[in-house]
Amino acid sequence: MKRTASLLVAAAAAVVTVGFTPHSSSGTHDAPSGRSAPARSAALTTGSGHWLDTWVSMPQLTEPGNMPPAPFTESDRVFDNATLRQTVHVAVGGKRVRLRLSNAFGGAELPVTAVSVARPAGGKAGVGAIVPGSSRRVTFGGQPGFDIPQGAQAVSDPLDFDVAPGTNLTVTLYLAHGQASTSITSHPGSRTTSYMLAGDHLDDADLSGATTADHWYFLSGLEVWSKPAASATVVLGDSLSDGRGSTTNGNDRWPNLLQARLASRSGTADVAVVNEAAGGNRVLRDGLGPNALARLDRDVLARSGVNRLIVFEGVNDIGTAGTSPADAERISAELIGAYQQIITRAHAQGIRVYGATLTPFGGNGYDDPAGAHESARQKVNRWIRTAGRFDAVVDFDRAVRDPDAPGTLRAAYDTGDHLHLNPAGYQALADAVPAALFHR
């Protein structure tokens, strides 16, 4: 039976401020004066509103090729006495923010000395400079520094900092001693440039001479204190949602473009579309990052203010399966069973689930000569369209397939690998999502 309730996830929204072990500080990174951060946090819980995820990234174990460039990766630690500056793209705005930092895959505790937020120079994504005087310190339990245990995350104190919808925000971290492991947490597919510089440059207006990399490290979420009617929609996906083929620092993945559409309409302007996708991810088995079933609790059910989920994942499961007719039957049946598990678990938290059909890959390496993988894709898409288990269906396959060769992408949307989409293709996906699905 389809769910009709549009319930906010109260359990995910009511996140308690962390109490991890504070660092001793040299005094350079003092907490701001005035009412204490815990007092401000307590005051927020009595007011009208709730915390809402407005930007997220899926935490992953960093592969060797995606580690911080030299000299920021050493034989036994990373980011020793280093400043790391990153920018994120805000969906729904707010006047108070808080950060989430992740040590989900760290091989040791993550000792963060100090953190700040600021406005990026020119309002741009992927820049190393900030607007002079805009930097504000972030605290954790009233302290400027903290140690995040292995496998854990940290949620900062609320900070009065006005961010407008659809804008960019700079987050800068300083690690005095680095993380004593080469197993670290990141999101390699950031499509956004980050900056690294030796020493403490937390509030510097520009990181002149910095080393760059197009990855996010440790940063996993930005929340805003929002009005009760505001909500978040999570995208659970792979590289087609993570944005392979999109523009670096352009924020033109299809979830970004859908967010822009919704923001332009009065009835959906308070909906944040947040992206929990990663290149190479699979639904059933670990690949690049944990499988979707394993990460559902962390990446969807525990996010703040979520009441909708778009599931657009399964191509990597099909493409890496065997190519016999029996293999095709097995992988399609397993994917259908997994989708039903996701629906059941999300519905238990009052979250509506929208299923997106899988897009074509004819001509890609996933396309086997016998057509077994295409047969599995067609069977899965038929179930998504007709079974009635999803609360709604988003037909991405129809939006980007070649009408004369429906097993392949339209040439105008194809990056050339016959699997991933260019910005025009991602715009077509965004346009295929009915705005009515997000009305209150």
Q: How confident is the model at residue 31 (pLDDT cuts 50, 70, 90)?
A: very low
Give the Cα-Cα-Cα angle 214, 188, 51 (nearest 5 degrees).
Answer: 100
Report pTM: 0.90
pLDDT for 26 beyond 50? no
pLDDT for 16 beyond 60? no
**Mean of the pLDDT values across residues 134-154?**
97
Averaged pLDDT of the chain: 91
Q: How confident is the model at residue 48 (pLDDT cuts 50, 70, 90)?
A: confident
Q: What residues have CB less than 8 Å from 229, skipping those under 6 apart? A: 270, 440
Q: What is the pLDDT of residues 159-197, one digit of tens each?
A: 999 999 999 999 999 999 999 999 999 999 999 999 999
Q: What is the pLDDT of residues 54-69, one digit of tens each?
A: 999 999 999 999 999 9
Q: What is the pLDDT of residues 365-394, one digit of tens each?
A: 999 999 999 999 999 999 999 999 999 999
Q: What is the pLDDT of residues 326-362, one digit of tens each?
A: 999 999 999 999 999 999 999 999 999 999 999 999 9
Rounded Cα distance, 57 and 382, in Å:
30
Per residue, the 3-state secondary structure of the chain, as one string, reads: CCCCCCCCCHHHHCCCCCCCCCCCCCCCCCCCCCCCHHHHHHHHHHCCCEEEEEEECCCEECCHHHCCCCCCECCCCECCCEEEEEEEECCCCEEEEEEEEECCCCCCCEEECEEEEECEHHHCCCCCEECCCCCEEECECCECCEEECCCCEEECCCEEEEECCCCEEEEEEEECCCECCCCCEEECCCCCCEEEEECCCCCCCECCCCEEECCEECEEEEEEEECCCCEEEEEEECHHHHCCCCCCCCCCCHHHHHHHHHHCCCCCCCEEEEEEECCCCCCCCCECECCHHHHHHHHHHCCCCEEEEEEECCHHHHHCCCCCHHHHHHHHHHHHHHHHHHHHHHHCCCCEEEEECCCCCCCCCCCCCCCHHHHHHHHHHHHHHHCCCCCEEECHHHHHEECCEEEEECHHHECCCCCCECHHHHHHHHHHCCHHHHCC
Q: What are phi and psi of 178, to 5 degrees?
A: 70, -175
Confidence at residue 440, expressed as pLDDT on a 0 to 100 scale: 74
Q: How confident is the model at residue 37 (pLDDT cuts 50, 70, 90)?
A: low
pLDDT for 34 beyond 90? no
Confidence at residue 1, expressed as pLDDT on a 0 to 100 scale: 37
How big is the chain by its Cα radius of gyration, in Å? 21
Confidence at residue 18, expressed as pLDDT on a 0 to 100 scale: 34
| Cα–Cα distance list, 13 to 4, 50, 302, 307 (Å) | 21, 6, 8, 11
Q: What is the pLDDT of residues 413-440, one digit of tens each?
A: 999 999 999 999 999 999 999 999 998 7
